Chains A and B, each alone.
Chain A
């Protein structure tokens, strides 16, 4: 059984929150163990946090490749299945085929992008984790969600950064 525990520290200003985050990182916590909670969308990197990783760019690329291949199969396949010579042009005439292949490429990339956004959005969020209602009132929350053994260390580190408040949050007990 793996237990997770979380702690939240609240700060009034950005610099204190950024310093606390530095301390948490220096304490050996990984980026998937801490989070910054704000009531306002601060510019990325304002707290010195790592740039969130996502693989969204892969989806349009894969979609475009699939769409292109589909376009190629549809145009080449139908023309080979029903070989009608039109205007003396070759059976597989690239200029008219390219129109459908282009449309297929675009359609594939759009559909895959939408699917990618849904997957990458982590919908829906099942648990709230550590939270405090003062976050929406302008406070900045730093949460650390980690194993039972490391939570006291996280609490110690955050306490040293002199937050406005520090409290335990959500606890998860799941089976692995």
Chain B
């Protein structure tokens, strides 16, 4: 594999040419972890204000009660947005690790740290349990229900279990991945210090025995695979029970998969923006072209898939043309949310397609970052478009399998704006707080890379040689 820059130094080193020994990696990455930026506290404070606004918004919303679903559309939309972005970002660590892609080493920890944001999704989900009507309202659902005999809250139960499962798996993934780094920080902390106690507790007697490493590798693989399965389950259940069943006649077997594919696309976009911030503002210059290029290609492919999924669903309704199918199109595409649909279509599909086809943009740092911003805004509009529209449908009766009247556009009020601000700032706040405990770069994976990566001369070129131990 030829390096991008022929002037790279020769020899064994990890993702930074100065990281030539385990000691140098430890020194530099631990120092970076312990360093405190002067901007850290002001940013934390600003995010804290956002979270307080979110809590106020949620209280205002709760004061209005939970019986009118149309008031909760924006809350559901921003919750879906979190599940689509922050909760999907750990896939950037999981998938390339399973595929043994070495380029992910420098970004695997930042990706795993997003799993902590699942906690915010879980908190935001609690009021939604009261907002979603029970199956007693007669709407069509995946679940069995019979008055007096079969439980009417199956959607609430299964979604809660799957979301709790996702959060637990996310934390387990982060903890297992960080165990060797916790041990390093434990060993470096002063005896009797607060840090020593914290990391002794977190490292759980990790010694670095061969058995520890083997089982850490196995656990990472299995927990990662389960996280992926649970992420898909969460998207499947949330899109079916907390979205589709609220709209009579919205019967689309493909949509839950579409919802999950959006998550993979938005997860990649979230990570590209995270990488940019870490590189530009936090001094992690090691996150470079390889990572932006690798994820950019993935996001490009997922943007093309976005169109495939959308078109496959759209065609069924477009050619079906039954009155209730036309109503679904009217609600989500042609009617009150048409501007949002256009924005969504352009930002999530057209912009990535016509920009990422150019090599110079795809292989740059700024290109994928700007396109990721476009994708995230587009996905945000998409979630507002479908969730706010679906929650504004008031007639859930199964007697008429269609929407009697298309509800008008629901605009956000002050409470909605506060909730959206809070829901977006809270995961970032959690992420920043976690970064004070967990090193943001996977130290042990860099030391492992040192064993396998060699830069050497090949005739007149400099090439990178990667060892594959398995």
A residues near B (Cβ < 8 Å) are 35-44, 49, 52, 56, 113-114, 117, 120-122, 124-129, 131, 133, 135-138, 141
Residue B232 lies at the interface, judged by CB distance under 8 Å to chain A: no
Residue B447 lies at the interface, judged by CB distance under 8 Å to chain A: yes
Measured CA separation A129–B205 after assembly (Å) = 9
* Contact (Cβ within 8 A) A128 B205: yes
* Contact (Cβ within 8 A) A36 B210: yes
Known A-B contacts A39-B180, A117-B219; the reply to A135 vs B208 at CB < 8 A is yes
Interfacial chain A residues near B215, Cβ < 8 Å: 120-122
Residue B209 lies at the interface, judged by CB distance under 8 Å to chain A: yes
* Contact (Cβ within 8 A) B218 A117: yes
* Contact (Cβ within 8 A) B208 A37: yes
Interfacial chain A residues near B447, Cβ < 8 Å: 39-40, 138
> Main SS of chain A's interface residues?
loop
Interfacial chain A residues near B180, Cβ < 8 Å: 39, 136
Residue B207 lies at the interface, judged by CB distance under 8 Å to chain A: yes
* Contact (Cβ within 8 A) B208 A137: no
* Contact (Cβ within 8 A) A49 B210: yes
Measured CA separation A77–B208 after assembly (Å) = 51
Residue B214 lies at the interface, judged by CB distance under 8 Å to chain A: yes
* Contact (Cβ within 8 A) A40 B183: no
Interfacial chain A residues near B206, Cβ < 8 Å: 125
Interfacial chain A residues near B469, Cβ < 8 Å: 43-44
Residue B192 lies at the interface, judged by CB distance under 8 Å to chain A: no
* Contact (Cβ within 8 A) A124 B204: yes
How near does chain A come to B28, taking the closest CB pair, in angstroms? 13
Interfacial chain B residues near A136, Cβ < 8 Å: 26, 180, 183-184, 187-188, 208
Q: How many A-B pairs with Cβ below 8 Å?
A: 91
Residue B96 lies at the interface, judged by CB distance under 8 Å to chain A: no
How near does chain B come to A56, taking the closest CB pair, in angstroms? 8
How many residues on the B side are at the interface (Cβ–Cβ under 8 A)? 33
B residues near A (Cβ < 8 Å) are 21-23, 26, 180, 183-184, 187-188, 204-219, 222, 226, 444, 447-448, 450-451, 469
* Contact (Cβ within 8 A) B211 A35: yes
Interfacial chain B residues near A121, Cβ < 8 Å: 215, 218-219
Measured CA separation A158–B19 after assembly (Å) = 31
Known A-B contacts A43-B469, A117-B219, A138-B22; the reply to A37 vs B207 at CB < 8 A is yes
Measured CA separation A11–B154 after assembly (Å) = 59
Known A-B contacts A114-B226, A136-B208; the reply to A52 vs B214 at CB < 8 A is yes
How near does chain B come to A39, taking the closest CB pair, in angstroms? 6
Known A-B contacts A39-B180, A41-B444, A52-B214; the reply to A133 vs B187 at CB < 8 A is yes
* Contact (Cβ within 8 A) B26 A125: no
Interfacial chain A residues near B219, Cβ < 8 Å: 117, 121
